[in-house]
Chains A and B, each alone.
Chain A
Amino acid sequence: MSALTTETPGARSRRFGSWYVAEHRLRSMKSYGQTIIATSIGSPVLYLLALGMGLAGLVDKDVDSGANGPVSYLLFVAPALLATAAVNVAGEEATYPVMQAFKWNPILFAMNAAPISPRQIVNGFLIAIAARMLPTCVIYYGAMLLFGATSGAASALGILTATLTGMAVAALIARYSATVEEDKGQMAVIMRFGLMPMFLFSGTFFPLEQLPVYLQWIGWISPLWHGSELGRVASYGATEPIWLTVVHVVFLLAVLVYGWNGFARVTARRLGK
């Protein structure tokens, strides 16, 4: 028994190790806390202003998307922007912070020498990402309400669907980032050729059906499309069949589990356990 705790050595770490890692990561995020706050508030304001007030002025046709008839362009685009905000957090927190935790700031090896398992390390990283993502989505949702881009109590579910979307992407990216042993610009490639095309081709700015059939598959495999559609269902009701809504949820959960498990496996391998 240690003099510093009242339990057998390692017992508390076995139970709460994931939370200790999350606590560590959240403390680290404080070092760029001002950036986090600025982007959390600035991003929805800028996007909703530009698209809601700017682009929506040009798009004078309502979008045939709602359960109760066509909706304004602002209503159509806002849930997708909310999901995109979550995906952006995933892009920021699951790329360089994961890679550098193995390489430039190798804190994972320090955690590994403590009574923390690789699975707990991975859990802690993802919990911390979720802890940053959820408030970001809440702020974004608040801005949507202010701009009249959504309404109704059910629309608040969009916060959860956006967070699920972001976490699925975060787990997937983290799984890859953990494999990067040498920086050859892979993180920039993820941003430019992963997240950006996802943003453009996932039915964010226009219904996926607007795309030629041979490009629509990009949306089908994109977590952002599934998340955006879920957000729209929450915001103004669905025109899609219920089974498709279930598919969106199952798809996002499957991506989350696939990414999470892979992230844990790669981490365990690299830490030598």
Chain B
Amino acid sequence: MPAPVVAASALTKKYKDFTAVDGLDFEVQPGEAFGLLGPNGAGKSTTMRMVGAVSTRTGGDLSILGLDPDRHGPEIRAQLGVVPQKDNLDEELRVRDNLIVYGRYFGISRSVVQRKADELLAFAQLEDRAKAKVDELSGGMKRRLTIARALINDPRILLLDEPTTGLDPQARHILWDRLFRLKEQGTTLVLTTHYMDEAEQLCDRIVVVDNGKIMAEGSPAGLIRDYSTREVLEVRFGSNRNADAARELGADVSGLGERIEVLPDRVLIFTDSGEAALETLTQRGFEPVTSLVRRSSLEDVFLRLTGRTLVD
């Protein structure tokens, strides 16, 4: 097995009395798409900043590409591509110039960086916007430009912090397509997200993080298999009646499913057959206002592990 490109052991980050990252252990293999999944404030971005060699750890060990980020920051950062949570493109420069000035930071010659910039504009589907000002771009275009910028140095690891937060569905799918191509080319992806569909689409392996700690680790399918059921029946009885209905249902879940969760707007019944559970429920005299049978997702895994939803 090749050496991991990222190896964290008891990785800890404290800010005075607050522990943002509380002893994380994980490894990322070369070419892997690895995800940190968790709600806002879980410690994902702090972890990414440490992996990106821009924030020093306060405890534990961390090795990036075999180097200690506390001592070899520039050498590590020279081999990373970083897509931050908030775009930090230079709004005073035009689209192509953003790529060129950034490439220069990696010591790439002017002639090479110009060729590379044109290749990346094509990859990001922004060729016709090369001379546009950055603030003329849509949110999705800015995100694609940020990803293109992160690829200017042919990074060995691409770090993506919440890459599609705030984008509309179409822009997200375009972005996922670009990231999927990178994955196919063998680029190691490390990403954080609080979108379960994003994690499922892009990640080979995931760690679920909450309050700075790892709650579970595995492939998306494996996590769903281990921590949820095959299907989920979502039923709504009206916001005033959900809790009462769940209490009555919860008294006897046999024939319905494994367990029941009550959310403010709906009741979730975890079962291997949603349709059968719905039929049983109707036979018992319950009349939900709406019902939906769907496959289990990582959202359900997170709910099971923490008792909370990802987007609170």
User: Which residues of A line the B interface, CB within 8 A?
Assistant: 2-5, 7-14, 16-17, 20-21, 23-24, 27-28, 31, 105-107, 109-117, 271-273
Is the C-beta of B79 less than 8 angstroms from some C-beta in chain A? yes
| Residues from chain B with Cβ under 8 Å of A105 in the complex | 90-92
**Most chain A CB atoms below 10 A, which of B55, B56, B84, B105:** B105
Contact assessment for B78 and A13 in the assembled complex, using a CB-CB cutoff below 8 Å = yes
Which residues of A have CB within 8 Å of B105?
Answer: 13, 17, 20-21, 24, 111, 114-116
Q: Is the pair A113, B90 in contact by a Cβ cutoff of 8 Å?
A: no
* From A4, A107, A113, contact of B52 by CB (8 A): A113
CB atoms of A112 and B54 under 8 A apart: yes
Residue of B nearest to A114 (CB): B105
B112 at the interface (CB under 8 A from A): yes
- Asked if A9 contacts B112 (CB within 8 A), the reply is no
Q: Is B153 an interface residue (CB 8 A)?
A: yes
Question: Are B55 and A117 in contact, CB atoms less than 8 angstroms apart?
Answer: no
Chain A CB within 8 A of B49 CB: yes
Is A273 in contact with B73, judged by CB distance below 8 angstroms?
yes
Query: Which residue of chain A is the closest to B135 with respect to CB atoms?
Result: A105
Q: How many residues from B make CB contacts under 8 Å with A? A: 37
Q: Is the CB of A8 within 8 A of B75?
A: yes
Q: Collect the chain B residues with CB atoms within 8 Å of residue A16's CB.
A: 107
Q: Are B90 and A110 in contact (CB under 8 A)?
A: yes
Give A100 to B37 CA distance when docked, in angstroms.
32
* Residues on A with beta carbons closer than 8 Å to the beta carbon of B91: 105
CB B64 to nearest CB in A, in angstroms, measures 12
Contact in complex: A114, B77 (CB < 8 Å): yes
B77 touches A113 (CB 8 A): yes
Q: Write the residues of chain B forming the contact surface with A, with a CB cutoff of 8 angstroms.
A: 49, 52, 54-56, 73-80, 82, 84, 86, 88-93, 97, 101-109, 112, 116, 149, 153-154
Rounded to whole angstroms, the CA-CA distance of A23 and B109 in the bound complex is 13
Q: A4-B153, A114-B105 are in contact. List 14 more A-B contacts (CB 8 A).
A: A5-B108, A7-B107, A13-B107, A20-B101, A23-B101, A105-B91, A107-B88, A107-B90, A110-B149, A111-B105, A113-B80, A115-B73, A272-B49, A272-B54
Smallest CB–CB gap between B215 and chain A, Å?
26
Contacts of B55 in A (CB 8 A): 272-273
C-alpha spacing A109/B89, complex, angstroms: 10
Q: By the criterion CB–CB under 8 Å, are B74 and A4 in contact?
A: no
How far is A168 from B65 in the complex, measured between Cα atoms in Å?
41
Chain A residues lying within 8 Å of B149, measured Cβ to Cβ, are: 110
Please give me the residue from chain A that is nearest to B159 by CB atom. A113
Which residues of the other chain, B, contact A7 by a CB distance below 8 angstroms?
107
Which residue of chain A lies nearest to B104 when distances are taken between CB atoms in the complex?
A: A20
State whether A10 and B154 are in contact (beta carbons under 8 Å apart), knowing that A5-B107, A20-B104, A27-B101 are contacts in the complex. no
Can you name the residue of chain B whose Cβ is closest to the Cβ of A16? B107
* Chain B: minimal CB distance from A70 (Å): 48
Q: Which residue of A lies closest to B75 (CB)?
A: A10
Q: Is the CB of A10 within 8 A of B104?
A: no
A sample of 7 cross-chain residue pairs with beta-carbon separation below 8 angstroms, ordered by A number, consists of: A4-B108, A13-B105, A23-B101, A107-B88, A115-B74, A115-B75, A117-B73
The reply to whether A273 and B108 contact each other, CB–CB distance below 8 Å, is no
Whether A10 and B92, one on each chain, are in contact in the complex, defined by CB atoms closer than 8 angstroms, is no
Cα–Cα, bound, A273→B53 (Å): 9
Cβ A109 vs Cβ B84 within 8 A: yes
Q: Are A113 and B78 in contact (CB under 8 A)?
A: no
Interfacial chain A residues near B52, Cβ < 8 Å:
113
Residues of B within 8 A of A273 (CB): 54-56, 73
Q: Please, which residues of chain A bring their CB within 8 A of the CB of B84?
A: 109-110, 113
Report the Cα distance A5→B109, complex, angstroms: 8
> Are the CB atoms of A115 and B78 closer together than 8 Å?
yes
Q: CA A21 – CA B102 in complex, angstroms?
A: 9
